[in-house]
Structures are given as C-alpha cells and as structure tokens.
Structure 1
C-alpha cells in the first residue's frame, strides 16, 4: 500500500477551527519525503499525513493543545513582527493601546524590522518573567502552565498576560538577548579582554566554533564573560579558525590590540592558530599574547592522579565499581532495604577530573559500614561465582586500613578542590593565587619535610630526598588516624603518605606551579609592593 502524497491544495482549505492550513502548516523537501509537515503554532510539532492524508491535519487541529495555542497565537496581546516603517496600533481589550517600536537594524536602507505590542504594562510583566525563567534555567516548555498558574494567583493584575514556548523563544532571541548583548559590547569596548574558544559538535552533527570573551569591567568592578558568536565549521584548519575569530571580533567591534590572552585546548591546530595571532599582534602592537602555560586546574587534576597511583588508587577503583554495581535498580533496592540507616546514592566518578574523587569518597565513607556488611555476605554467602564488580568489592574492602585510606583521599581532594574553585573563580583575585597555591603545597609538604627547609623546594623547583623526615616523624592527618591504632597499619599509611606527597608536589613543580606569572601578580597586593620597595632600599 503506497503512501499518501502531499497536496498543495490542502493549504487553501479551512481546519475545523475556521483557520486556513497555510497560516500555520510549514514543511520542507525532507519532511514531505518523510510524509510529515510541521505545525507552527504547536512549536513545530510533526504531523504525519502519509497514511491518512488531510484527515491527519483535521485531527491535529481538533486537539485541545492546538486550540489553546491557536487562541493565543491570534490574540491581539501578543508580540508582532512588522516590516513596515510605520507601526499601526492594534486595538486591544480595554483602553490601553500602546505601541512599542524597538528597532532591530539601523544600518539598512530597506524597511526595518520592528517589534510592537499593544499593552505596555503586560509586556513589562512578561519580560520580567522571561528573564526570571532564563536566570533559573527553567524550561520554556512550562511557560504555558506557568501563565495559567500566575493568572489564577492574580487574575486582575495579569489581565492579558500570556506566555508560551515559541513566544518566549522569540522574545529571548530577537528582543531581550540583543538588548543585553549590546550592553555587554558597550562595556567591553575599550577594555582589555581574553578570548575563550572551543570547537564542538552540535545536535545537527555539524562542527561549531564557540567564541566567548572574558574581561574585567571597570564599570561593574568585577570579571565578566559572555558568548560572542557561534559559527559553523567544515574543516577546522588554523587559517579558517583565524578568519572566523577575526570576523567575530569585527562584528563585535572589539579591537585586536586589546586582546591579552587566549584560552584553548591542546590540539596542534590551536597551537598553530595562536602562533598566527601572535604574528598579527607583533605587527600591530609590537608584542604577543601573555602566556601563563597550561591551565592550573588540569595540572592539579593530573597531579592528584599520579599521586594516587603511588597511594590511594584503590579508592578510585572502589568508587567506580560500587557505582556501576548499584546502577541496577534491583540491587540498590535490596541494599537500601538491608541497611540499618538510609544509604546515600553513590556518585559517579570521572577519571579526567581526579580531584572530584573526594565527593565519591565521601559517599563511600558514609556507606562504609553497609559496604562491609555486603562484603561479608559475598564472602560467606552461598553464591559460588562472583561477578567482576563483586570480586573487586571483596578484594578492596579486605585491604587493611581501607577506611583510613578513604579518609586520606578525602582530605587531599578537599584541599585540592578548594584550590581549583579559587582558580576558577570569576572574582578579580589574581594577586592571591600565588599564596594560595603555595599554601596548599606547604600544608602537605610540612607533614614529611623539615619546616625550615620547605622554602628551598620552591626556590630550587625540586624535592631533595635528604630533606625528608623519618617515617616515625611523619604527621598523619588526625581524621586518618582515628580509624586505626595498629602500628603496622599506621606505618603503611605513613609510607604511603610520603610517596603520595612526593609525587604530588614533584608533578606540580615539574609543571611550573606555582607559576612565575602568578608570582608577579602577587605584587598587585599593596602590602607586597611596599615590601618590595623596602627591599630595594
């Protein structure tokens, strides 16, 4: 049985509500080939005509959702688009005929696109609610229900108030978004700024270039950032990326001379792009971009990874195994029912973010007694062949001092996470970065090194084994010691602590942390400047 073909004469017919199909039915060649059209009123909802022809369109028009949205769509209270240079006042309910004409384009001789609405007070309320929804990351799909609830709360004050998904999308894309974009661009022009760019694949499977600008606003006295543009890419060569970025800066009217830094990934094409931009900057202003090396956050993540390989890697293995083992709903339900207290849901741990292991380890520690009960059941149960996850749980929890090891990983990762949050903060606090990084490293070095020799580690950029304290004098965190009083276990923990800290600090020093650039920024602090002047005297 063949499919029904689309007939263009359907568009001239009326639906059961008295509207012409051509007023809201849209389509393209691909949709017609698939036997589908879209309803513009219902947020481009698909309507399949391949089996029943125009009867499918009739049935869609009869649905309650389509009728409600059709009434909203035809309401005189809604936002209109006009290509005329004159804006007509459309009569509205009551005596509140107001016309708004925010002009979208002033650089064209053609008739300008204008937005106008007939009720100014209603528009203000709708804009406030849209901005609130955007700031709370609320879904636009809930706009229709929100409008009904708000009308029930204040029917007299919200007469004419009406929002739905497509209207909110249009308002954000064509009115509110451009307004705030203009405010940002006016603020950043004349300031020094940094660019952050990344190539990613969108929902349409096409490669996109996202360009974001970050700068310190003298007007707001804080660091600000916002997305400039998204452009589609075919090939992503350095020349193509350079052309796209330069065009983005030209559209935003941002001078290249004010570019301070660029944040990028590590592929060769991005390195080539940075060299090309440096070449242009040297020709225009005489010096290139400021370079601070690799991202400190990634270096800290990797430092934790290599340190855990020396001591504590079993905690990461346990976190992954337990998460996937209880990802089966039936197992989790049995675990909850057999626990004396309600256990916390296990957290997924991603290996590329090693500092986040601390969050997974906290959940492990919270559920550790229940996990030991599970281990006992698996060991002494009737089940002969254990699964991979069950064998791993039994093996890891059978290790001596496992509780202390989990607590140790929590302590290290917590300190590192605080440091990363500080580095990723949008506040203008660069002058404190050097002392924060140094404080983190000193805190752990002091547990195995002589206090008076720690400064040598930073000046020499290396750890000398002769500076290590003896095992007996190694300082274990108090939270780690409370789980064990066995001297052998404490000795193993101290040995592991030495290996862990040595690897952690050595990796940070090898990757130039604390960086000399941050040391220079530390002199932005007035007290340090005065100290520097006194030393020079």
Structure 2
C-alpha cells in the first residue's frame, strides 16, 4: 500500500541533491535521478529515499564523474561588465570579473548552477595560500563548521588546488589580460633575462606597460626558459607571445643595455616591419631610464639642488615620532614624504607642487616650534 509522502520541491535547493535530483512529471510520489536516469518511489520513506539512493554504488560513481567533469565556466556568473569576453575557441563566454576602483584584483563569483562545494574549492585554490597549506584543510573545515554541508563536502588538497589554478583559473585570467592588451592603442614590451638557480636555466620575464585611466600600469605576461640565449633564441621565444597579444599595437621594446639586446631589437624590428609594416620607437634601451635621466639633468640645470631638498624632507621625520607628532599638530596633516631616489625620482616621488607644499608646511612647523621654545622658561639657556 503506497504511503502518503510526496515530492517536496525544497529538496531541489539542497546542496546534496541539486546536482542530480529532479521531479517526476507524471507522479508527485516519485523522484528522478538525472545521473542514473531512473525514477524511484518516495511515498513511503520521503527524503530518506533520496539519501538511500545517493548511497548506491552506481550513483556514487556517476556523481563523482559529474563533479570531476564540470568545466571551469560552470563556477562563474555572467554579469554585465565593461569588458565582455570574446567568443570563439578557448574563450570563456559565461565568466565575469567585477573590478572596483579600490580593488585591482579580480573577484570570482560562484554561479548557482555549480555545486557549492566545488565553487568553494575554486575560491580557496585562488586565495593565494601555499598549496601545502591546503593539505587536510577539508577535515579542518568539517570540524570548524559541523553544521555546513559545503564544509563536509569540501575536498581541496595541494594537488587539486594546483590543478584548479593551473588548468582552470589561470587560463581565464590570462585571456582577460590578453584581451585588455589587444584593446590598447599601443603598449611597450619589457624583457629581462637572468639565471634561475632552481631550474639551472636562463629565465626571461616578459612584462607590458599599458595606459590605464591616466596611469601607466605594468603587467606580467609570462616567462620563457633557455639553455642558450642568443639573440635569435630570444626573438624566437618572444614572437609567439607578441602574436598572442597583438604585434600591430607594439610601440617600443624596453630592455637593459647589453649589445646582445640591441641585436634582439634589430631582429625584432625586421620581424615587425615585415608583418605589420611599422617601425618600433627607439628612444634608447630603456624608456624609463631615459626619462629619469632627463629629469635628473633638468634638476641639475635649474641649480635648485632639488635632490637633496626632497631627500632631506624624508629623513627629517624618519624614525622620529616626536617630530611626526609636532608636524601633525601644527599642520593638521598626517601625510609624510616618501623616500626619494634620484635615479628613479619620477617613480618614487609625487608631483612638484605637492613637494613644495610639503616643504612649506615643514617650514611652518619649524617656525611654530621655535616660537614655542623662545617662550619656554629655559629659552635663555637654549639661546646660549
């Protein structure tokens, strides 16, 4: 004799069932498993029938296959963004990035279509912890949150975290970077080689400088590894990277000064000229050094000794809590000078008007302190 239990629609929203459970259209006292492709009776046992079915050997195997086979796209929401992913092979069309003015990192938003535990594993793998710290973290979460089904299902050891980042999250972020660079009117490629002591190979790091909202941003693109690193070897490694982000938008090649790098510049110049019929801008081996040196020579020509003035403003308050307190009381400002380096002065300093304003406030503070000292009972002793 059939029982009185019927299918409860709220079961569909539970994490333990929503991957495989669906209603049976013709009978409200039955449930259907999408993975096993079979219906079963819930009229007598109710929800316990779902639990009983989930413990079956075949169902466990089907569920494991389904969880492992979910693509990385399933764990991201599709929301309106200013930069929409491009369609085509290898692109991710239903993943989105939320960026705020105060946060330059990319925020991954779990989608409701993905299992909550798998989404949590992706977020954890991308949280910048070391992979070894992920070992046994699932058991820890189960102890910390015994009432959470997500914590109970969480499984993300060091190997799985590395796999998720390497083959899931990283390619997506790389595609965002490539798309951002390809939209630029122009960009500068920076490269430098050094010995990787761990791998015992030469490592060439590639960066790009792009214009972003009135500022120049430097982004890491990737690394290439060599045994021999002749000019031809470097160019052969660099060209595929440039083709991926768009050779036509390349403006300049920035590098340090060895002669082998100038040969690289000449060879790459010929490649770009042949591919897109344009020449690279040549203002020296490193554009930053050229501009910084021009700024330094301008300071010397002015005769104002700006370098020592800016450096002194920094050291005046360095490791001096008393001076900092006096400065804040007198001026009402708690902003202090950054350390000034004459070699890269444009990067480590703020604008000239801010420097002059800061120096004026320092003079005002010293003047007030001298007035205070002159009015103290020990002023005559100090004058002597």
If the length of structure 1 is used for normalisation, what is the TM-score?
0.37
If the length of structure 2 is used for normalisation, what is the TM-score?
0.49
